[in-house]
Structure 1
Amino acid sequence: MTARTTRRSAATSRITAVGAIAVAGTLLLSGCGDQTKKDSGTDTSTKSNSAPLFNKLPKKFQDAGVIEVGTDATYAPMELKQNGTIVGVDPDIAAALGKQLGVTFKFTSGTFDGLLAAMQTGRYGVVMSSVSDTKARQEGLDDKGQKTGKGVDFVDYFTASTGILVKKGNPEHITSVDDLCGKKLAVQRGTTFEAAAKDLSKKCTTDGKGALSIESFPTDAEAQTRVKAGGAVADLNDSPVAAYIAKTAGGGNDFESVANKSDAGPFGIAVDKSNTQLRDAIKLAMDAIIADGSYKAALDKWGAGDGAITKAAINGGS
């Protein structure tokens, strides 16, 4: 299950719907959502024809010198705000991509479940927000398998599994998603974790273990608050996010994280299906930053090296 998947598609999540729950799911993001007014550009300061892959970009982006990026900057360490600036794993990877492509990736934060739809209306060039690459999102299907749009293409850049965030001390002794049967779960709306939770609930009922009670919130921060207050036994996230929250929230005294590594799946940079030239240029840039070490440096800076890939893929999710 992979979160946003991953949010975010649950561990098989913002990745691929969780095998057991998957933070992956199949919810096609729709609706624009409120956009924050503060934008953040990555550190790519030079826009030059001399950049190695500048000529691979569509002319529109060559002329603009900027690729607008939709994100939900509430998902540390992948993307978060510090002093009004969007930082994290994704912005740092984007900065490295920008040096290869000769453009600036400019991040704007909005509501997660509206990002893909906003990109398809032209608000963003790409979406980079720990979005799990799933077949449903590629094909534009909702969580019932119904066609709701044309879908998107993904350039895969990271791997994550489902992380189960529980109260410090793990009072319910949760060790896997199966232990959530019959209990109340908090998730972020529009993520693959939400869809995966619904699938898990059906499985729990079939197995005679009791359905899940699922509460969905606009942001993951609200889901975390629910768990901290004891209103839900767990919040589902992508593994690096759950680990980061457990380490930092309340000085490390609020939560614990339980990893479910068997359901690992890819995060992808989402690109409109009509924009294959941009998609292919980003794929080339990803392979370049993997080769030159700047990709690894971005991950290591945020303690996310476990999610590293060795080669970029297009639509590698399932």
Structure 2
Amino acid sequence: MTAHSARRRISAAGAALVAGALLLTACGDDGDSKPPVDKSAPLYAKVPEKYQKAQVIKVGSDVAYAPNEYYDSDGKTIIGMDPDIAAAISKQLGIQLQFKNQSFDGLITSLNSKRIDLIMSSMSDTKDRQNGVDKDGKKAGPGVDFVDYFNAGTSILVQKGNPKGIKTLDDLCGQTVALQKGTTQEEMANKQQEKCAAAGKGKIDLLTFDKDTDALLQLKQGRSVADMNDFPVAAYNAQTANNGGDFEVVGEQLEAGPYGVALRKDDTQLRDVVKEALENIVKSGEYTKILEARKLTQGAVTQIAVNGG
């Protein structure tokens, strides 16, 4: 299972608003600048005093996971779904959320040691993370709280036009499927093998590779009928490969679970105001516009939950 698997355009005017807010929040991820606060923002008064004084909320993120968080072509500006949503939260709080690039495996440690204030990094809300339990089931820390804002599961990616008519996992029986080895998608495909056999259908010819780019090449060249990947990544590949001419996503997400903003257990006031900010942008429609801009509406939530994973 890969690290990210485990963690599990709008109108011109709308795009300009999102981009403008994004530049304020995501530039200079390792800087210590203190941008001006907006005391007239809807939720400024509810922001903990220490963050009002700091004039910035530091966001830890592993900036290597397009389309959710990645560097723009200038190599400096952090863009993606998470920075877009963070920009909208910033407008609600009146205090800028400033991204800091870090290794995914060290994010929770950085959070609990107060080097960062929250995490937005396509991190799946799980009971183990809530309870501070490591991969071996041992207590490894105090755990974190999550404010859930997106659902992500596995998606099936096929050639543009879906020439084989693939819609569900059952349609993969008797077919050749290429994907990245060691992922949750490989586990899912192996489980599907049992269902294919029980249904008396042909076995899946599974081709696995170290990199998903190699699996996508097999699909592009017609040597497989499908690739399987995390929904946001699959959607991004469908949008960007050959300017959207190579692939498309079919069917619904499989085994979807929530991404959450992670916060320290004792930082309940910040947790609650972030939750309220997210609720506000959902109600206003700004949340939907952000997801529409990146063609990620299939992962939208209608209610913001705390520790819903």
Per the normalisation by structure 2, the TM-score is 0.72
Tell me if structure 2 keeps the 8 A contact 1:180–1:212: no
**What is the match of residue 108 of structure 1?**
100
Tell me the CA shift for residue 97 of structure 1: 0.7
Which segments of 5 or more consecutive residues in structure 2 lack a partner in the other structure?
Answer: 9-26, 198-202
**Are the aligned partners of 1:167 and 1:228 in contact in 2 as well (CA < 8 Å)?**
no
Alignment of 1:225 onto 2:213:
yes
User: 1:281 and 1:246, CA in 2 relative to 1: closer, same or farther beyond 3 A?
Assistant: same
> What is the aligned partner in structure 2 of residue 121 from structure 1?
113
- Post-superposition offset of 1:144: 4.2
Matched, 1:156 2:148: yes
Q: Could you list the per-position Cα deviations for residues 183-223 of structure 1 after superposition, in whole angstroms to 9, with x for gaps in the alignment?
A: 77416x8xxxx46755875786899879989767xxxxxx3
Output one character per residue of 1:92-141: Cα deviation in whole Å (capped at 9) or x when no partner: 11111111111101112233333223322322211111212122221223
Cα distance in 1 for residues equivalent to 2:296 and 2:188:
28
Contact map agreement 1:70 1:124 (CA 8 A) in 2: yes
Stretch deviating more after TM superposition (174-183 or 50-59): 174-183
Name the counterpart of 1:306: 298
Deviates more, 1:147-156 or 1:206-215: 206-215
**Amino acid corresponding to residue 122 of structure 1 in structure 2:** K
In 1: Cα distance, 2:250 partner to 2:121 partner:
22
Q: Which amino acid aligns with 1:51?
A: A
Structure 2 SS opposite 1:282: helix
Cα drift, residue 298 of structure 1: 1.7
Q: What one-letter code is carried by the residue in structure 1 that aligns with 2:241? A: A
Query: Could you tell me whether the CA contact under 8 Å between 2:179 and 2:185 is conserved in 1?
Result: no
| Partner AA of 1:58 in structure 2 | P
Secondary structure at the residue paired with 2:29?
Answer: strand
- Paired residues in the alignment total 276
> Are residues 1:48 and 2:47 paired?
no
Q: Which has the higher strand share?
A: 1
- Structure whose residues are more often helix by fraction: 2
Q: 1:256 to 1:288 in 2, by over 3 A?
A: closer
Q: What is residue 28 of structure 1 aligned with on the other side?
A: none
Considering only aligned residues, what root-mean-square deviation do their CA atoms show, in Å? 3.8
Is the deviation greater in 254-263 or in 296-305?
Answer: 254-263
1:283 and 1:312 in contact (8 A); partners too: yes
SS of residue in 2 equivalent to 1:316 = coil
The SS at the match of 1:78 is: coil
**2:50 is the alignment partner of 1:81:** no
Which structure's relative contact order is higher, taking Cα pairs within 8 Å and 6+ residues apart? 1
Q: Identify which range, 243-252 or 253-262, moves more after superposition.
A: 253-262
Structure 2 CA distance, aligned partners of 1:313 and 1:79?
22
Change (3 A) 1:244 1:200: closer
Does residue 68 in structure 1 map to residue 62 in structure 2? no
**Match for 1:186 among 166, 180, 200?**
180
How big is each residue's C-alpha offset from its partner over 1:133-174, in whole Å with a ceiling of 9 and x where there is no partner?
122221223344333332211101112231244677989997
Which among 256, 259, 283 is matched to residue 264 of structure 1?
A: 256
Aligned residues of 1:204 and 1:212 also touching (Cα < 8 A): no
Q: 1:30-41 residue pairs with structure 2 within 5 A?
A: 39=29
Range with bigger deviation, 125-134 or 296-305: 296-305
Question: Mean alpha-carbon deviation: is it higher for 176-185 or for 269-278?
Answer: 176-185
Instruction: State TM-score, norm by structure 1.
Output: 0.70
Unaligned runs of 5+ in 1: 16-36, 217-222
Judge conservation of contact 1:133–1:156 (CA < 8 Å) in 2: yes
The aligned residue for residue 308 of structure 2 is 316
| 1:83-98 equivalences in 2 (<5 Å) | 83-84=74-75, 85-98=77-90
Identity %: 44
